[in-house]
Amino acid sequence: MSQDRLITPARSVINPQRQQGSNENSLRWPRPADNSETQGHLLFRITWFAVNVLLVASIFFAVYSAGWEFSTRRYLKGFSDAIVPATSPGDEKVEAILQWMAHGPARRKFEADTPQSDRDPTDTLNYEALLQVCGTATNAFINLVDTGHMQVRRLLLVDSRQMTKHVVAEVLLDGRWIIVDPSFRVVMRGADGRALTREELTDPAVLAAATRNIRAYDPSYTFDHVVHIRLARFHILGSLLRRVLDRAVPGWEDMPFMTLLVERESFAAMVSSILLLILLILLRTALSWYGEKRLGLHSVHIRQQLRRACHAFLDAT
C-alpha cells in the first residue's frame, strides 16, 4: 500500500503535461454556467439548445407524418380494391375510375361549415361537390390512379399570364402520356378512338374533334400553354425558383413524384419532415464540430449518453 502511494505522485511529477492534458480532455460541454469560457459562448449555447429542441420536434413530426401517409395509403387502397380491377389493362383501370366518379354511390353533401381540403383525398373522394370541380376532381383521380400502380401527373392549362384555366391529368399508357379530364369524366380521344396526348391536342382541329361530344366544354381550355407545377403564384420568387430548378434538375416538373407532392397533403408532410430532419441533423453535426474545433467546447455524444444510461440502469438492477 505504501509503495503504491509513493508511485502515484512520482508519476504525476514525471509527466505533469500529460496529467494536465488529461484533465483538460476530461472536461465536457456543457460546462457550468459560472465557467468563464462558457460565459463567453452564450450565443453558441443558445443555438445548440434551440437546434436540439427542433431536432426532437422534427423527429416527432416525421413519425406523425409517416403514420398519416400510411393511413392515407391504406384508405386509398380500400377505394382502389373496390373500384379498379387489379388485373385489368391500364386503359380499363382509367375507365373504371371515371365511371365510378360519374356513377358511383351517393356521397356526403358539401356544407359551407364543413372542414375540407382540396389536397386531401379523404375529402375529394367523398364530397360530391368537390368531384365537380376540375382541381379537386383531378386530385381524386390522381390519387386513385397512383394507388393502382400507374404513373400519373397533373397538367394545368394556363393563359398567357400563367393563370390556371383548367386542370386535367396525364396517364402513362403504352409509353404515351394520354390526357384524361376527370371533371368531365372522359379520356380525350381522336376520331379513330385513339387516346390523345397534349402535343396532339395543341392542334385546334384535333381538340375540336375530341371535345365535340363533351357537354359545356369551354373552348378556352386549350393546350397551347401548359405547366405541371405553377410557380407563378410566387411572382418573382417563383420565376427565379423555376430557373434554378430547370438548370439544376432538368425535367423536374415532369416527374410524377412532383405531382404527388402537391396533390397529397400527407405525402408532402412526410417528405417535408424527412428533409427537415436531415437538415437539422447536419446542422447539429456542424455545430458540434465548430464547438469542438473552434471554441474548445466538447459535447457529450449521444452514443456516450446512451452508454452511460445503460450502465446506470444495469447497475441499479
Q: Which residues contact 59 (CB under 8 A, 6 or more apart)?
A: 277
Beta bridge partners of 98: none
State residue 166 phi and psi, 5-degree precision: -160, 155
CATH code that applies to domain 84-263: 3.10.620
Burial pattern 147-159, b for ≥16 Cβ within 10 A else e, equals bbebbbbbbbbbe
For the chain, what are the domain ranges? 84-263
Please state, in angstroms and as integers, the Cα–Cα distance from residue 193 to each residue in 45, 53, 96, 141, following that order: 69, 59, 17, 22
Would you state the pLDDT for residue 80? 85
Would you state the pLDDT for residue 74? 92
Would you state the pLDDT for residue 170? 95
Would you state the pLDDT for residue 3? 44
Block means of pLDDT (10 residues each) for the chain, length 317 residues?
41 45 47 51 85 94 95 90 81 89 70 61 81 89 90 92 90 94 93 92 93 90 91 77 86 90 92 95 90 73 69 74
Would you state the pLDDT for residue 281? 94
Would you state the pLDDT for residue 236? 78
pTM beyond cutoff 0.85: no
Would you state the pLDDT for residue 16? 47
Distance CA 23, CA 12 (A): 12
